[in-house]
Amino acid sequence: MSFDIVLWLVQDGIVNGAIYALLALALLLVFAVTRAIFVPQGEFISYAALSLALLQAGKLPGTVYVLVGGGAIAALLDIAVALRDKAPGRLPRILAVYVLLPLAMAGIAWWAAPRKLDMWIQVLIVFGLVVPLGPILYRVAYRPLAGASVLVLFIISMAAHYVLTGLGLVFFGGEGLRSQAFSGAHFKIGVLNISAQSVLVVLATVLIMASLWLFFEHSIYGKALRATAINRVGARLVGIPAELSGSLALTLAAFIGAVSGVLIAPITTIYYDTGFLIGLKGFVGAILGGMGSYPLAAIGAVGVGLLESFSSFWASAFKESIVFTIIIPVLVWRSLTTRHVEDEEE
Amino acid sequence: MNRRLLAALALAGAFAATAASAEITVGVSLGSTGPGSSLGIPYKNAFQLVPKTLGGEPVKYIILDDQSKPDEAAKNARKFVTEDKVDAMMGSNGVPSAVAMIQVAAENKTPMIALTPVPPLSPDRLHWTFVVPQPTELMMSAVVEHLKAHGAKSVGYIGFSDTWGDLVHNALQSLAPAGGFKIITNERYARADTSVTGQVLKIMAANPDVVVVGGSGTGGALPQIALRERGYKGAIYHNHGTVNLAFIKVGGKAVEGAIAPTGALIVAEELPASFPTKKVSLDFVKRYESSFGAGSRNAFAGYSYDGVALLNAAVPVALKKAKPGTPEFREALRAALENVKNIIGTHGVYNMSASNHNGLDDRGRVLVDVSNGQWRLMK
């Protein structure tokens, strides 16, 4: 194995690792705030990537139906609560958030699809279609059982994953799609021939991490999320609504998923169910990082990317086994070195 | 309950049973959801185009989804034999699912039309199983002839890390001595992989004359794109699982020049007038595309259609011996299937025998390549 190959593999590993790192952050964020292992994270990637590819092909992505339908269900749930509480004053806001916003986004997508607008505008439309799925998913799936145990929340996650994957198959079909690259440029550095797309992936990852840090450190909502993550009861006592934190966490997760999807769509073929495996590798990264620290999770995820890259060179038939097997020694080591604290509160 | 009522009920039951047995029942299990759905859906579509009769008798197709999972396929097959008392089974679009159904078919002595190429079977299973698609060896022999004619001595292989990847690799391996080449890499990847850089680097380092890809559908595009990006200049061959329009859509310019074996129906218009399946292939392709859109033609729907054509030829023979819905009819149908001769399908000409339960020959395959964004017959 020559030095050139090592460089190539490192480059490949870092690009994939950057995507996994984004997902590891999203998973960690949702887990800290809602205690749910957020399995459907991967679906946001598939939805975003496939929506972008379809918009580029001049077709209306099926995401709009999921968005409008999901929004309608969320609105019905909220309206029922509002009527029970005899608080009709909430209705305009509910309708605006869960009905008008999705309809408006669907309208924009419908208008824009045949016009094949500039790529950046298409990306914005994709964000507009995928990001609102986060709060809608929280309202429909998680909020009714927000206080349940970690296991129940995990089962909800699995259910949400299957529903979203199934809808993805219905709306996107079984074959994969690929979107055009943001830029076809290549840079030659020594033996390496680095595509502008892969530079963009790494830059976007770093940028998102930096803005997440700013968000958590300096904004009131970020601090509210951190407070909920550190101590849910305490956060509630000082007036941070758990619903707001949960909804916000899933919005961020959907945003990160959408970014990952848009970044990865030109690099590989995306199927309606590809996101799950990508999300799973992000999850492995988060576990390697101990499922508690954001920087460690990011490093763990890049580690997964590198491991994957090198094992695909040496023993490609065993690549997935190698990547998923490393969880075991890490878990054994962690369970030996850290004292388990029962955090099922209340 | 009084005795007369019981007798009346029994009589009614007996009448119901005879009424049902006039109709032929075929159980079809396909993975129209799950990871194999991109193939399962066209397989299923074809059943909208098949005749409503088999050998002149009305037929009922019971089509169930097996979610591309072998255990679900087995469950469906058991339901077919125990509850629906089917006369024959067809399925599935995944190799492991088809193998699971074959097992149930052999246990319950029911003729089974496998719609996917299957690995070599033990004699008792083969006894009840008829395989519609071209054996992988037959398909890959077209590739081997071509690369041999162009003087390739070393072949790099990259395929799916599943049964399909193994089947294509083994077929290639068995043809290697006669083809005068060596397989110098055996790399594997998964359809959901985000990158095949590592595998492609290894192939580039080994520097084979040509590369053979053992993927299917759009999944076959990823290695070819990566190889071309890294500047690989040799020919890249695929297999018959890859030949559809989605592959070209995903691969764009990078898959230009990709070579693959396939059944004749894919290039029905371009076939020479003397080609035995030209009329049947062309007719099917036209009807399929008028129902499912221009460019929607694919090999898989053709397999379903050819499977039905085999049953259609065998049923009249079996009807002379027994009534549908009976074990005797199933045995007669099996024997009749084993003896169909010169049945022209969309893919080729079927000539079954006791030792050959596929019956296709060289007329069952052509080589195609991608030129100007279309699969074209290679001259």
Tens digit of each residue's pLDDT (9 = 90 or more) over B260-270: 999 989 999 99
- Compute the nearest-CA separation of B119 from chain A (Å): 20
B273 close contact with A: CB closer than 8 A: no
Question: Is the pLDDT score of A311 beyond 60?
Answer: yes
SS3 state of residue A341: coil
Strands B24-30 and B53-54: unpaired
How many beta carbons lie within 10 A of that of residue B123, not counting itself? 7
Is the CB of residue B240 less than 8 Å from the CB of residue B267?
A: no
Query: What tokens were used for A54?
Result: 């379809």
Q: How confident is the model at residue B6 (pLDDT cuts 50, 70, 90)?
A: low
* Subunit contact B202:A175, Cβ cutoff 8 A: no
* Subunit contact B38:A19, Cβ cutoff 8 A: no
| H helices present in chain A, as ranges | 3-34, 41-56, 63-84, 91-95, 101-112, 119-130, 133-137, 150-172, 196-218, 220-230, 232-237, 242-264, 274-288, 294-314, 319-325, 327-337
Mean pLDDT of chain B: 90
A12 close contact with B: CB closer than 8 A: yes
Domain span(s) for CATH 3.40.50.2300 in chain B = 3-134+298-361, 136-262
Question: Is the pLDDT score of A114 beyond 60?
Answer: yes
Suggest the residue from B168, B194, B216 to mutate for an interface test with chain A (most A CBs closer than 10 A): B194
Question: Is the pLDDT score of B17 beyond 60?
Answer: no
B67 close contact with A: CB closer than 8 A: no
Pick from B240, B180, B244: nearest CA to B212: B240
Query: What tokens were used for B167?
Result: 């089947």
What is the per-residue pLDDT across B329-339, written as a single tens digit (0 to 9) for each?
999 999 999 99
Crossing angle of helices A119-130 and A41-56, in 10° steps, is 140
Q: Alpha-carbon distance A117 to A129, whole Å? A: 16
Assigned CATH topology for domain B3-134+298-361: Rossmann fold (3.40.50)
Query: What tokens were used for A310?
Result: 């090198």
Q: How confident is the model at residue B223 (pLDDT cuts 50, 70, 90)?
A: very high
Question: Is the pLDDT score of A207 beyond 90?
Answer: yes
A277 close contact with B: CB closer than 8 A: yes
Q: In DSSP terms, which residues pair with B82 in a beta bridge?
A: none
Q: Alpha-carbon distance B92 to B70, whole Å? A: 9
Q: Alpha-carbon distance B119 to B136, whole Å? A: 9
* Subunit contact B201:A313, Cβ cutoff 8 A: yes
Phi, psi of A37, rounded to the nearest 5 degrees: -75, 110
Q: How confident is the model at residue A339 (pLDDT cuts 50, 70, 90)?
A: low
Mean pLDDT of B88-111: 93
SS3 state of residue B321: coil
Cβ burial B299-324 (10 Å sphere, 16+ → b, else e): bbbbbbbbbbbbbbbbbebbbeebeb
A179 close contact with B: CB closer than 8 A: no
Cα separation values, A136 from A67, A174, A263, Å: 8, 25, 23
Confidence at residue A194, expressed as pLDDT on a 0 to 100 scale: 83
Confidence at residue A135, expressed as pLDDT on a 0 to 100 scale: 94
| Closest Cβ–Cβ partner in B37, B191, B205 for A169 | B37
Interface of B with A in 172-191 (CB under 8 A): 186-191
Confidence at residue A147, expressed as pLDDT on a 0 to 100 scale: 83
Question: Is the pLDDT score of B273 beyond 70?
Answer: yes
B202 close contact with A: CB closer than 8 A: yes
Residue B377: enclosing H or E segment and its boundaries?
Answer: strand B374-377
Query: What tokens were used for A294?
Result: 């954001």
Crossing angle of helices A274-288 and A294-314, in 10° steps, is 120
Confidence at residue A74, expressed as pLDDT on a 0 to 100 scale: 95
Query: What tokens were used for B210?
Result: 């040509």
B5 close contact with A: CB closer than 8 A: no
Suggest the residue from A59, A205, A268, A309 to mutate for an interface test with chain B (most B CBs closer than 10 A): A268
Cα separation values, B200 from A165, A210, B196, B240, B362, Å: 30, 34, 6, 22, 32
B38 close contact with A: CB closer than 8 A: yes
Using a CB-CB cut-off of 8 Å, the residues of chain A touching B223 are: none
Q: Alpha-carbon distance A185 to A194, whole Å? A: 9
Query: What tokens were used for A281?
Result: 């590798």
| Closest Cβ–Cβ partner in B33, B39, B250 for A176 | B250
Q: Alpha-carbon distance B126 to B118, whole Å? A: 10
* Subunit contact B197:A9, Cβ cutoff 8 A: yes
| Closest Cβ–Cβ partner in A175, A278, A317 for B246 | A175
Confidence at residue B18, expressed as pLDDT on a 0 to 100 scale: 45
Q: Alpha-carbon distance B131 to B126, whole Å? A: 9
Report DSSP letters for B126-168, one per residue: HTTEEE-SPPHHHHHHHHHHHHHHTT--EEEEEEESSHHHHHH
Confidence at residue A189, expressed as pLDDT on a 0 to 100 scale: 77
What is the per-residue pLDDT across A168-196, written as a single tens digit (0 to 9) for each?
988 998 788 888 888 778 888 777 778 88
CATH number for the domain whose boundaries are B136-262: 3.40.50.2300
- Compute the nearest-CA separation of A91 from chain B (Å): 39
How many beta carbons lie within 10 A of that of residue B208, not counting itself? 21
Please give the torsion angle defined by the CA atoms of residues B90, B92, B96 and B98, in that order, rounded to the nearest 10 degrees: 10
Confidence at residue A99, expressed as pLDDT on a 0 to 100 scale: 93
Using a CB-CB cut-off of 8 Å, the residues of chain A touching B158 are: 316
- Compute the nearest-CA separation of B227 from chain A (Å): 13
Suggest the residue from B30, B39, B189, B195 to mutate for an interface test with chain A (most A CBs closer than 10 A): B195
